[in-house]
Amino acid sequence: MEKHLHLISNGNFSNQHLPILKEIQHDIDFLHIREKEKTAKQLMDSINSLIGIGFPLSKIIINDRIDVAYMMKCAGVQLAYHSACVSAVKKHFPSMLCGKSVHSVKEAKRAEEEGADFLLYGHIFASNSKPNQVPRGLIALNRLIDSVAIPVYAIGGITPALARDILKCNASGIAIMSGIWEAAQPLQAVKAYRKVLKEARRDRYE
């Protein structure tokens, strides 16, 4: 099975990021627009800007805002703990991909039962975005992956080197934020992650 690379926006998405996204769009599988402070109009403007550079809607996932994802014909939505429940989304928008962010095996099982298409689980390693929270680590990741049958993507403090350990847990891929946005050369960073993902898939079939 192909391993996927999800890129998560960092809350400061603007048109200044468009040149980077145009350059890396072929090397990422999904872009999550995770902009909690933006209005629906601002989110829609951002999506229209992405369309303007040829970024495919089939790769765009919107955090929490089901209405925006639906109106803009994006690939899907990523739900948080405060979002609408997965079952409601799948009932009313059955063709929309529905991911759920989870932090325990119990949450993961519930999301799967409600019809989630995939899960984001973390943070796995120490992360600048969560400096005061203890990372959950690889043992917890492996336990959660074994508890569900749907794809699980790990997030949190993942470097290309650490991604190898993530994939040994049979994760379906990785979700990256600062590892790409804060890289001195984002394109090279993306390619480094992609190389690890490709190697994991090749090793699986050799």
In angstroms, the CA 94 to CA 87 distance is 10
Catalytic residue at 123? yes
What was the pLDDT predicted at 205?
41
Model pTM? 0.94
pLDDT at res. 1: 78
Residue 206 confidence (pLDDT):
43
pLDDT in 10s for each residue of the chain, 206 residues: 789 999 999 999 999 999 999 999 999 999 999 999 999 999 999 999 999 999 999 999 999 999 999 999 999 999 999 999 999 999 999 999 999 999 999 999 999 999 999 999 999 998 776 677 789 999 999 999 999 999 999 999 999 999 999 999 999 999 999 999 999 999 999 999 999 999 986 565 44
What domains can you pick out in the chain, each with its CATH number? 4-205 (3.20.20.70)
Is 70 buried (19+), middle (13-18) or exposed (0-12) by CB count in 10 A? middle
Which pLDDT score, from 0 to 100, does residue 202 have? 59
| pLDDT confidence of residue 204 | 54
Q: Which two tokens stand for residue 22?
A: 């145009």
* Helix, strand and coil in the chain, % to nearest 5: 45, 15, 35
If residue 23 lies in a helix (H) or strand (E), which one and from where to where?
helix 18-24
Q: What is the pLDDT of residue 134?
A: 86
- CA-nearest of 79, 66, 136, 68 to 104 is 136
- pLDDT computed for residue 203 by the predictor: 60
